Structure 1
C-alpha cells in the first residue's frame, strides 16, 4: 500500500503542533513570511520547535527574504527543511545547506516548469506566481499529474478533508500539504479537521490499486 506523506503548515500555537504530531503528521510548517497571516516571529519558535519530535520534520517557510535573515532563522529554529515560496533561484535555495521545498504557483495562466529546481521537493500550489500561498483555492490537478510520475511531488492548494482523497487519486503525489483546509481561522488549527484530513489521506492510500 502506498503512503502519502502529510505536512500541516502555518501552525502558530503549541497545542496545534501537539495535535498535528499526535494525529500522525510527517512534517509541520512554521511560516516566517511577513505576507502571511500565519507568520510567527523569532520569539515563538523555541516553544513550537521543542514540541516537534525527531520523526516529524520541522519546515520553515520564507518568501524572498534576505539571506542573512534566513540564516538567522535557521540558527534559531534549527529546521529540518526550508520551504521557499517566492522567486528564489535554485542557487539561492541551496546556499543554506538544508534540504528544501520549492513552491510553484499554478494559480496564473503562465506555464510553470519544475525543471529549474532539480534538487528540490517541488510543491504545486494554487497561488499565482510571486504571491503567497494559503489561498484556500484549488487548481486543475491534471496540470501536475505528469510531474508526480517524474519526481516526488508535494501537492497543496485548497486541500481539505472533503477533497484530498480525490486529489490523491488524481495526482498520486508523494506528499500533501494543508493549511487553510484544517483551520478555524488563519493560523488557528482545528483538531477535528486535522484528524479528518489525516483519515481522508489514509482512505485514499488504502483504496490505491
Structure 2
C-alpha cells in the first residue's frame, strides 16, 4: 500500500515522513492553512529522494501558474482539486491526479470522464477543497469496477481508521493530512504510526 502525506511545510517533517515509508508528499499551493509558495517547496524538494512523488496541489489555478511552480519547485505530479474539466486536466506534461468529491455511488461516474494518471476520491467540500478531516461512505466503492484505475483514497483518514478504509476500498494509495496532525501541525509520530498501519495491510496481501 502506497501512502501520501499531504500538507508538508518543512524539511524535517518531509524527511521524517520518508524515513517512515511515505511514497508521496503533497505541497499545497491553494487556499489552505497549509499553503506554501514555490520557494518554500523548492527548499524541501531539493533534499527529497528522486523516487518520491512530489505532488503540487492546486484549485482552479491558471495553467501558466501551475507550469511555473512545477518548474521552479521541482514538483513532479500535479493534483487538481477544483472544478477542472477533463480538457483542462489533459494539458500537462507531468502526471495528473484529479480529485473528486464523493457523496454517493453516482459521483463515481465522474471518473470515466477523465483520462488522468490517478483519481483522488475525497469527501464533499468543506471550508477548503481538502484537508477537512471528514470521511465519506467507503462502501460506495465496494463492487465498483474501476478498470484498474489508480485510486487514491482521501478524506478523514487517521491512525484510527486507515486499516478499515483499506480493507473496504482496496485503493492504490491512501492520502492523509489533518489525520496526522496535533493542534494543526504535522505530528511525526502519528505519521509513522499511520504509515505502519497502512503498509501492514500490504503484508496481508492487500495493496
Runs of 4+ with >6 A deviation: none
SS in 2 for 1:104: strand
Q: 2:92 aligns with which of 92, 96, 100?
A: 96
Matches within 5 A, 1:112-151: 112-113=108-109, 114-128=111-125, 132-145=129-142, 146=144, 150-151=148-149
SS in 1 for 2:82: coil
Whether the 8 Å contact between 1:106 and 1:128 is mirrored in structure 2 is no
Tell me how far apart the structure 2 counterparts of residues 7 and 76 of structure 1 sit (CA, whole Å): 22
1:67-94, CA deviations, whole angstroms, 9 ceiling, x for partnerless residues?
1211211120121110000011122122
Q: Is the alpha carbon distance of 1:143 and 1:106 closer, same or farther for their aligned partners in structure 2, counting shifts above 3 Å?
A: same
TM-score, length-scaled by structure 1: 0.90
2:65 is equivalent to residue 73 of structure 1: no
Gaps of 5+ in 1: none
Q: Is the alpha carbon distance of 1:132 and 1:108 closer, same or farther for their aligned partners in structure 2, counting shifts above 3 Å?
A: farther
CA root-mean-square deviation: 2.1
Could you tell me how far 1:96 is from its partner in structure 2?
2.0
Gaps of 5+ in 2: none
TM-score, length-scaled by structure 2: 0.91
Which sits farther off after the overlay, 104-113 or 58-67?
A: 104-113
Task: Give the equivalent residue in structure 1 for 2:171.
Answer: 173
Matches within 5 A, 1:1-209: 4-33=1-30, 35-107=31-103, 111-113=107-109, 114-128=111-125, 132-145=129-142, 146=144, 150-186=148-184, 188-208=185-205
Q: Is the alpha carbon distance of 1:37 and 1:131 closer, same or farther for their aligned partners in structure 2, counting shifts above 3 Å?
A: closer
Q: Is the alpha carbon distance of 1:117 and 1:65 closer, same or farther for their aligned partners in structure 2, counting shifts above 3 Å?
A: same
